[in-house]
Amino acid sequence: MVKQLKSTIVSTFIATSLLSGAAMAMSVTELQDTNGDGVISAAEITAAREAAKAEKLAQFDTDGNGELSRNERRAMKDARYNAMLVDFDADGDGELSRDERRAAKDARRAAVEAQLDVNGDGEVSAEEAAGMEQVKAEGGKKRGKKRGA
């Protein structure tokens, strides 16, 4: 599956916002080609998600019981929403309209694609997309399963 990134404007924005940590505001997991083989494998995505989850817990598990309660989840959503407002409330009315939400969603997808595009040629090649496809396909199945890459 080859996908062209929406626009250079968006990808430039994403590149800068990733550096500024806005990726987290958009709940985009920061993916890394840990073993340097040029693709983000399913295992690397899973590892990144586990790390993101741990970070989330560290930040929002206020009572430290290792789980996010309803209130803790709400606090997390509020924090995320406020962070999204900073980036995506284009008209500055303090709310995210349908269009603003769509822009945020597009940016998030672009951010993920930008990360998957390890060689930075602006396209996510089939090889680069394979790891994500695998994670999606496995869906709710057991995570952290080891497999020969």
Q: Which residues bind Ca ion (CB under 5 A)?
A: 33, 35, 37, 41, 89, 91, 93, 95, 97, 117, 119, 121
Residue 142 DSSP label: P
Instruction: Name the minimum Å distance from CB 36 to Ca ion.
Output: 7
Instruction: Name the minimum Å distance from CB 66 to Ca ion.
Output: 30
Report the distance separating Cα 39 and Cα 117, nearest Å: 8
How distant is the alpha carbon of residue 122 from its chain centre? 17
CB atoms within 10 A of CB 102: 12
Q: What is the four-CA torsion angle of 85, 3, 33, 53, rounded to 10 degrees?
A: 40
Helices (H), 22-125: 22-25, 42-60, 70-88, 98-116
Closest CB to Ca ion among 68 and 129? Answer: 129
Residue 37 DSSP label: S
Instruction: Name the minimum Å distance from CB 86 to Ca ion.
Output: 12
Tokens representing residue 11 in the block: 């990808």
Closest CB to Ca ion among 61 and 87? Answer: 87
Closest CB to Ca ion among 33 and 87? Answer: 33
Closest CB to Ca ion among 62 and 97? Answer: 97
Instruction: Name the minimum Å distance from CB 54 to Ca ion.
Output: 20
Instruction: Name the minimum Å distance from CB 102 to Ca ion.
Output: 12
Closest CB to Ca ion among 55 and 121? Answer: 121
